[in-house]
Structure 1
Amino acid sequence: MMNGLQSPHQGLSWRWKQRAVPVTTIKMETTTLTKQGQRFLTKLTTSSAATDNLIRRFVQGSPKSVVLTTLSHLLSPTTSYPQLSTLALPLYGRASQAPWFIWNSTTVAELAALLHKLGHRAQSEALISEAICKLQSRKRELVVFYGKLAEAYSKRKSETGFDVAYGYLNNLLRTSESVHVKRRAYEYMVSGLCSMDRPREAEDLVIGPAAGLGLKPSGFELKSIVYGYGRVGLFEDMRRVVDEMEKRGFVVDTVCCNMVVSAYGVHGEHVEMATWLRKMRDSGVPFSVRTYNSVTNCCPRVLRMVGGLSELALSMEELNEGLDGGEGMVVRELLGCSGILEEVMVWEALEMKLDLHGFHLGGAYLVVLVWLEEMWKRLNGLNCGVPAEVTVVCGLGNHSSVRGESKLRVLVQKMMVKMGSPLKVDRKNNGCFIAKGKAVQNWLCEMRKAPLSGSASL
């Protein structure tokens, strides 16, 4: 073995298990590391034991989910162990011999792209050839494999690899008799070009002379081009495609608006972000979790606060006073609209629940401030009644960089402690904070130095 690599045809026994669902619906595990996987990767970097022996023992002694998440982490372009990327193939080879192994097109595509990036072209081409042989008679699965291959190459900004995958997709688009296959190939080609920062080529494919070979573009393709132009800072073209969408009768929805907002934010255009957020609000386009994440990820002051936890503003008023310029404008636009709570809050007689799943730290921080303001209004003025229990769900950190280590939970706990909140970590589920509804009402009233209002039940 050289650098932990072997040919995919040497000792790899692919198992193709029949299932009730098509194999293309099986998705690659998240790149989140389990603590067991983290210990294994740390051992690989520090132990003097033979690498192949450590891999064998890890696969034999670990649950399927742990092995797959560890493999997925090594395959990720953002892995925290880039020096171990060359071990992805031998780990995959050993996993393929496990009784639970199911061949997965996404994993193979990611592995082939990684090997290509590392310069191991022969192993990459062998994996691709074997996948094509397996799927040759199953065109719907084959087009997904080609699409995943294009995505994997684009994530690594590999022009040569992407162009090969694009060629496969283009051939299917032009030769397949299946409308479904042609449509999927078309989608992958457009989104892939945009991910490779080639939005003009994507636009030519969608609304150019030979647009889609007879396929009418959907909102997906046009949104991809909006995203593509925004990524490279071509804002005039981005807005022009948004206008084209409206002319063609497509709704400029939350997803599309988030792409525009995110594009402005990445390039530091806070004033334009604020203008677009105002358009969303005035047009009745709801803010989403992604809106909050996109905005706050581009706000340096907010990111410093939630990162250090020492300068946290604990009210909307205090935060507004501490922000100025464009950053202050976009944050005020978010704080001025409580519509996000319709998506993440449930208010019932027995329980009021705020679910922070999906939020990044900055987004969660702002939503908690908006939520506290709304709670005050409902419990001390709007006569909404007092729920028996209040719950804030942060999660167990299953999607953190290391599973079980939730930075979001730490942030919320810090806020609650600093504010003297009755909300405490639930003994039965440490991913939640709970308190009696009446205790929360009394706390909010004390914070505002205002008398209690009526507390009729719902």
Structure 2
Amino acid sequence: METSTLTKQGQRFLTKLTTSSAATDNLIRRFVQGSPKSVVLTTLSHLLSPTTSYPQLSTLALPLYGRASQAPWFTWNSTTVAELAALLHKLGHRAQSEALISEAISKLQSRKRELVVFYGKLAEAYSKRKSETGFDVAYGYLDNLLRTSESVHVKRRAYEYMVSGLCSMDRPREAEGLVIGPAAGLGLKPSGFELKSIVYGYGRVGLFEDMRRVVEEMEKKGFVVDTVCYNMVISAYGVHGEHVEMVTWLRRMRDSGVPFSVRTYNSVTNCCPGVLRMVGGLSELALSMEELNEGLDGGEGMVVRELLGCSGILEEVMVWEASEVKLDLHGFHLGGAYLVVLVWLEEMWRRLNGLNCGIPAEVTVVCGLGNHSSVRGESKVRVLVQKMMVKMGSPLKVDRKNNGCFIAKGKAVQNWLCEMRKAPLSGPASL
């Protein structure tokens, strides 16, 4: 799982654990007793994450879980137990890990639909930690259910987890073999989910010929190659620095009428080092599409120009009404948010000064409060947008009622865009 969001309260608790001389057990007890359920669970989830920002405290996940399980609000959760078992296995505490798993199996033995979910979550947890031995054990549990269960639903879920798990473990050939071998013999036909998982698996390890082959097979069998599938292919090429292929698939995506998504922008910009340097440092941000295009060379420039040349993303993230125009940046990573703001400003100019779309009463850019940032309340996207607006002399200011938004009157935005068009394309007042 991705690093879970920490509340400020959870961050203070973890910081105290690293600096205080007080007994750890007492700190954990007071934290659980004095904190809301949501704070305790998000803090525990953060410690269980393979990418926690407090890896030195991972060993405290078990005592924190033990204390939380005694709270009156506690509800047993298969995902949490699976993540904890995988962590303990990784830390070398095999006996404790096996005890947790045995307890879960005993609890769910008569509820096969819940049991298969637990096995699946266990396989996912091991795969995220790249634990071959742990994953193979969880895979064996799933395989047994696949072959012995009388429930079609249980078989199907086991099959899904097995295929996706093998692909996450960088074993896509085994996943494809399962699809055309044992699973087919049991009467299970692959759905789009399994085939996309295999596309993703081949792409992760750079087996692009196999990746393209599976995409072609999907099309031949009548499966829709949708935004999710395209994103997987584009991301795979990006991770391996294949910018020219990214452009090819972005164009294919556009020409097929498949819409770009927030994840498309994230997948592309996360593989563009020039863009990441800009948004990471903030001091050298290009403040117009033209300036950005001039500053990026080679394959990266080609990919960014392909994104900037398509405003279709705005259909997903912008609402245009007489009372308000709203751009919603929820879900964007820094690079994606940066490019979308540039595309949006260009589209705003076009609509307000050439298409007679009318002037909205208000313009809003929603960045969020950082509730999904690594630490809740610290929105890097909001900091980026504020920097851009200040540098460009924008009338969009932080909303006094909601500091996760920027607002301005529609007329003020129109006037500002007109002035920007008169200014040089470089410098602090570029559009």
After TM superposition, the score normalised by the length of structure 1 is 0.91
Cα distance in 1 for residues equivalent to 2:428 and 2:45: 51
Output the CA distance in 2 between the equivalents of 1:314 and 1:211.
54
Question: CA-to-partner distance for each residue in 1:159-201, whole Å, 9 max, x for gaps?
Answer: 0000000000000111111111100000000000000000000
How far off its partner does 1:29 sit?
A: 11
Contact 1:306–1:312, Cα closer than 8 Å, also in 2: yes
Q: Quick check: 1:387–1:457 contact (8 Å CA) kept in 2? A: no
Is the partner of 1:433 in helix, strand or coil? Answer: strand
Q: Give the Cα–Cα distance (whole angstroms) in 2 for the partners of residues 266 and 139 of structure 1.
A: 38
Residues 330, 368 of structure 2: 8 Å contact kept: yes
SS in 2 for 1:214: coil
Looking at structure 2, the residues matched to 456 and 88 of structure 1 have their Cα atoms a distance apart, in angstroms, of 50
Deviations 1:399-434 (A, max 9, x none): 111110111000000000000000000000000000
Deviations 1:29-81 (A, max 9, x none): 97111111111111111111111010000000011111001000000000011
Task: Measure the CA separation in 2 of the matches of 1:368 and 1:40.
Answer: 36
Write out per-residue CA displacement over residues 307-341 of structure 1, whole angstroms, 9 at most, x where no aligned residue: 00011000000000001100000000000000000
Task: Return the offset for 1:207.
Answer: 2.1
Partner residue in 1 for 2:277: 304
Correspondence for 1:68 among 17, 37, 41: 41
Per the TM alignment, residue 144 of structure 1 is displaced from its structure 2 partner at its CA by 0.4
What are the superposed Cα offsets for residues 361-390 of structure 1, whole Å, 9 maximum, x if unpaired?
A: 000000000000000000000010011000
2:359 counterpart SS class: coil
Change (3 A) 1:51 1:410: same
Deviations 1:241-273 (A, max 9, x none): 000101111011100000000000000000000
**Any idea what the Cα deviations from partners look like across 1:81-137, whole Å, max 9, x if unmatched?**
111000000000000000110000000000000000000000000000000111111
* Stretches of structure 2 lacking an aligned partner (at least 5 in a row): none
The separation in 2 between residues aligned to 1:320 and 1:457, in whole angstroms, is 13
**Equivalent residues of 2:5, 2:372 under 8 A apart:** yes
* Partners of 2:311 and 2:347 within 8 A in 1: yes
Alpha-carbon distance in structure 1 between the residues aligned to 2:168 and 2:86:
15
Q: Is the 8 A contact 2:393 2:429 kept in 1?
A: no
Q: CA RMSD in A?
A: 3.5
Normalised to the residue count of structure 2, the TM-score between the two structures is 0.97
- 8 Å Cα contact 1:271/1:330 also seen in 2: yes
What is the rounded CA distance, in whole Å, between the counterparts of 2:308 and 2:378 in structure 1?
Answer: 28
CA contact (8 A) 2:85 2:97 kept: yes
SS at match of 2:325: strand
- Identity of matched residues, %: 96
Q: Structure 1 451/402 Cα, relative in aligned 2: closer, same or farther at 3 Å?
A: closer
Tell me the alpha carbon deviations over residues 269-299 of structure 1, each in whole angstroms, 9 at most, x when there is no partner.
0000011101111111110000000000000
CA contact (8 A) 2:392 2:429 kept: no
- Contact 1:380 1:453 survives alignment (8 Å): no
> How far apart are the structure 2 equivalents of 1:456 and 1:270?
31
Q: Give the Å deviation of 1:436.
A: 0.3
Question: Contact conserved, 1:383 with 1:454, CA < 8 A, in 2?
Answer: no
Residue 383 of structure 1 contacts residue 456 of structure 1 at CA under 8 Å; is this kept in 2? Answer: no
Matches within 5 A, 1:264-279: 264-279=237-252
SS of aligned partner of 1:229:
helix
In structure 1, what is the Cα distance between the partners aligned to 2:429 and 2:56?
61
